[in-house]
Structure 1
Amino acid sequence: MKPHPRTALVALAVLLGAAGCAKSETEATAGPSEAASAQQQVVQTPAGSSGPTCTLDQFGGTKFDLKTATVGFSQSEKEANPFRIAETKSIKDEAAKLGITDLKVTNAQSQFSKQITDVQQLIAQGVKLLVIAPLNSDGWEPVLQQAAAKKIPIITVDRKINARPCSDYLTFIGSDFYEQGKRAADQMINALGGKGKVAILLGAPGNNVTTERTNGFKDRIKEKAPDIQISFEQTGEFAREKGQQVTEQLIQSNPDINGIYAENDEMALGAVTALKGAGKDPGAIKIVSVDGTRSAVQAIADGWLHAVVESNPRFGPLAFETAQKFLDGQPIPDKVIISDREYDGSNAEASLGEAY
């Protein structure tokens, strides 16, 4: 497993005071405390980098006590997806750890109109801080206007919204999705030896995760492996059942496909079900995906997946640390990009306990 650069760990300790997270990811056989540390999100901040920041004074809000404030968390998708389960659990667990007594959690059940209504209701209930996992990147204007009128800081996690940081919202915390796409492409290039036909199971439309994971993958293939042809693309909507359905269609219409890039693990596992149903052997079609769920890492160990690029959903500690730093008057970057590991045949079995 690839350890995080020391500079990234130092950046996390300086920026967010989380020096306790600085454990090596190579400790696959570590005890409970070490394993928990290895699961922690780590900020990916290159040494000497700089960018726009925001302070409480610039934002125009007033300081409040997180422990006694009403805090809202808006989850976007049904929690049948392990990513969403782990994400919500992380928010709840960290709030409890910090002694936050009034955390209100909503779930939009994968309906964008419901998420907008959910957040508007949270604002009406007097939240002082909003943490939002957006379903879509566009369409947030009604919420942003209401939050801005009350100077409510919004932290978005996992997906971005198309708006202005330090004005419409405070900051975004999440992965570099374009880089994830590039890293998935590198794994596919390695699996296929630089040539063959590849299908893409696209994520849900309307959000930056799908767009950037697709563009990163395609750009890297074009740059490094022009003999790999992307011959099929269809949305699997980030869902296992849909990933299975699309793959069943794929192996009928493109029987000579060599690889599948699934833009999340749920679609990849749906693809595995389809391949098993078609009588395919493990590894006959190389599958690369993004997320890092335990089921997907197990599928690597079992030979069905070639590799997985992690997208760490444990946003609780970093979200609340960022909020507290903001309330203490410290500058917050307009985006907080986390570092993600990779799983492949060399580390999957030993790393099962660190997957989610």
Structure 2
Amino acid sequence: MLTPLRRGDTLDRIPTALRRARYVLSLELTMRSRLLLAGAALLLLSSACSQPATSSETGKTTIGLVTQAWDNPAIKDLADAATAQAGKHANVTLLAQDSSNMQDMISKVQTMISRKVDALGIEPWDKQQIMPMLQQAKQAKIPVFILQSQVPGTEGNGLVVTSIIGDETAGGKVAGRWLGEKLGGSGRVLVLEGAPADTPGIERANGFEQGLKESAPNATVVARQPADWARDKALRVTTDLLTANSNIDAIFADNDEMAFGALAALRARKLEGKVTLIGYNGTCIGLKATYDGTFAADGILFLDQVGSKFIDAALDQMNGKQVPPKIEPPITLLTTAHLKEIEQGAKSVTVNGSPFDVDDALRKRVTDAIAGKC
């Protein structure tokens, strides 16, 4: 039986069992406190690790790129060129993705923003629907670069650093003027446009009609219809247009993929070689078709330069250098004869009476296509 403690009693009056119980309790509380502290420390460490490191912390620069679909060889060329240019810088990582439609693009752009990339390049499916994404990027302080398009309403308000796009109207004019000369001043022409809301396709087709009228006042565009940049859609559209319009002299397609769709429709009606066919973009397969004479000519869009200039502009902007509000890669047209001249070593070719220089990059592009390295 324990004797009750009184005020003033010393520790030696506390029975041994009670002292042991008190010691065990104290030890247990101490261990629990240590475990709680250790757990809190682990939680803080885990939380810190879950946050993406910033570029200033890692010494790395992360650039995001979201384009239209890579099953279009021209768009894949753009992305590949951007990847190659980024690879020249040891501290630069490029996160490149394509998208199948505008909603897919929005989702992927949002992911890039949430990852806090240092710069973001976008080749929009729709210039209006991309606006909310530009606002989000601005709020996140991520500079945006628009590729192969211009978005109205972004001038001077910090939504876009620059637009990297060739003069599509001028490019279309080159093709139209050349065709008008070839037709001898008159003819009946079909035009396959890109997507209905896609600025480059609209400007390209508009420029083509303007150039055609300049060199062939009596030529007529008897039909102009979108085929959404796709080969299969172009086959269906061209088939319908050929049914509705007889005696066609030429077809101009806004890109090489649609030109190949039109080619399939011409072959089905045994019209290959009888109708002048012009592609656009200067993809490897488009250049090969032009060299072989399957296409009479191909508009050359330097999408490889769009990709590489995007990386250069992004790095310039992050390094505090001045970036112009618009960057314009060149655009021209190459015919079968031009490609044979380049094959023979020509340093310049004449397009609609004006010289166009053949640099090393264009020469390699042409020679690779001729060799079938597509």
Answer with 210-219 or 228-237: which moved more: 210-219
Give yes or no for the alignment of 1:106 onto 2:97. Answer: yes
Question: Which of 181, 184, 202 is 1:193 aligned to?
Answer: 184
What TM-score comes out, normalization by structure 1 length? 0.76
Question: Which of 337, 340, 343 is 1:346 aligned to?
Answer: 337
* Distance in 2 separating the partners of 1:309 and 1:302: 16
Question: Counterpart of 2:218 in structure 1: which amino acid?
Answer: D
The residue that corresponds to 1:252 in the other structure is 243
Greater relative CO, 1 or 2 (CA 8 Å, sep 6+) = 1
Question: Which of 129, 138, 148 is 1:158 aligned to?
Answer: 148
The residue that corresponds to 1:243 in the other structure is 234
* Distance in 1 separating the partners of 2:59 and 2:150: 26
The residue that corresponds to 2:212 in the other structure is 221
What TM-score comes out, normalization by structure 2 length? 0.73
Residue 251 of structure 1: how far off its partner (Å): 2.0
* Distance in 2 separating the partners of 1:208 and 1:66: 39
Paired positions, count: 291
DSSP-derived class of the 1:123 partner: helix
The residue that corresponds to 2:135 in the other structure is 145
* Distance in 2 separating the partners of 1:252 and 1:227: 23
The residue that corresponds to 1:286 in the other structure is 276
* Distance in 2 separating the partners of 1:258 and 1:120: 47
Larger helix share, 1 or 2 = 2
Residue 333 of structure 1: how far off its partner (Å): 1.0
Residue 218 of structure 1: how far off its partner (Å): 1.9
The residue that corresponds to 1:69 in the other structure is 61
Question: Which of 318, 321, 329 is 2:309 aligned to?
Answer: 318
* Distance in 2 separating the partners of 1:64 and 1:345: 51
Deviations for 1:86-110, whole angstroms, at most 9, x for unmatched residues? 111112222222124543222211x
Instruction: Decide whether the 8 Å contact of 1:64 with 1:327 is kept in 2.
Output: no
Q: Which of the pair has more CA radius of gyration?
A: 2
Within a 5 Å distance, the mapping from 1:51-62 to structure 2 comes to none
* Distance in 1 separating the partners of 2:57 and 2:96: 19
* Distance in 2 separating the partners of 1:80 and 1:128: 27
Question: Counterpart of 1:192 in structure 2: which amino acid?
Answer: L
User: Structure 1's 246 and 67: CA in aligned 2 closer, same or farther, altered over 3 A?
Assistant: farther
Instruction: Decide whether the 8 Å contact of 1:194 with 1:227 is kept in 2.
Output: yes
Unaligned ranges ≥5, structure 2? 1-54, 344-362
Question: Counterpart of 1:145 in structure 2: which amino acid?
Answer: Q
Residue 325 of structure 1: how far off its partner (Å): 2.0
Residue 222 of structure 1: how far off its partner (Å): 3.1
* Distance in 2 separating the partners of 1:273 and 1:74: 31
The residue that corresponds to 1:333 in the other structure is 324
Question: Counterpart of 2:223 in structure 1: which amino acid?
Answer: F
User: Structure 1's 65 and 240: CA in aligned 2 closer, same or farther, altered over 3 A?
Assistant: farther
When the two chains are superposed, the root-mean-square deviation of aligned CA atoms in Å is 2.1
* Distance in 1 separating the partners of 2:97 and 2:212: 39
Deviations for 1:199-245, whole angstroms, at most 9, x for unmatched residues? 10111111211221122122223333220011011111111111111
Question: Which of 259, 266, 289 is 2:257 aligned to?
Answer: 266
Residue 255 of structure 1: how far off its partner (Å): 2.1
Question: Which of 188, 210, 225 is 1:234 aligned to?
Answer: 225
User: Structure 1's 73 and 313: CA in aligned 2 closer, same or farther, altered over 3 A?
Assistant: same
Give yes or no for the alignment of 1:85 onto 2:76. Answer: yes
Residue 354 of structure 1: how far off its partner (Å): 5.3
DSSP-derived class of the 2:220 partner: strand
* Distance in 1 separating the partners of 2:106 and 2:152: 15
Residue 122 of structure 1: how far off its partner (Å): 0.7
User: Structure 1's 159 and 100: CA in aligned 2 closer, same or farther, altered over 3 A?
Assistant: farther
DSSP-derived class of the 2:236 partner: helix
Residue 67 of structure 1: how far off its partner (Å): 6.5
The residue that corresponds to 1:308 in the other structure is 298
Answer with 143-152 or 99-108: which moved more: 99-108
Unaligned ranges ≥5, structure 1? 1-62
The residue that corresponds to 2:162 in the other structure is 171
DSSP-derived class of the 2:96 partner: strand
* Distance in 1 separating the partners of 2:268 and 2:138: 52
* Distance in 1 separating the partners of 2:59 and 2:295: 43
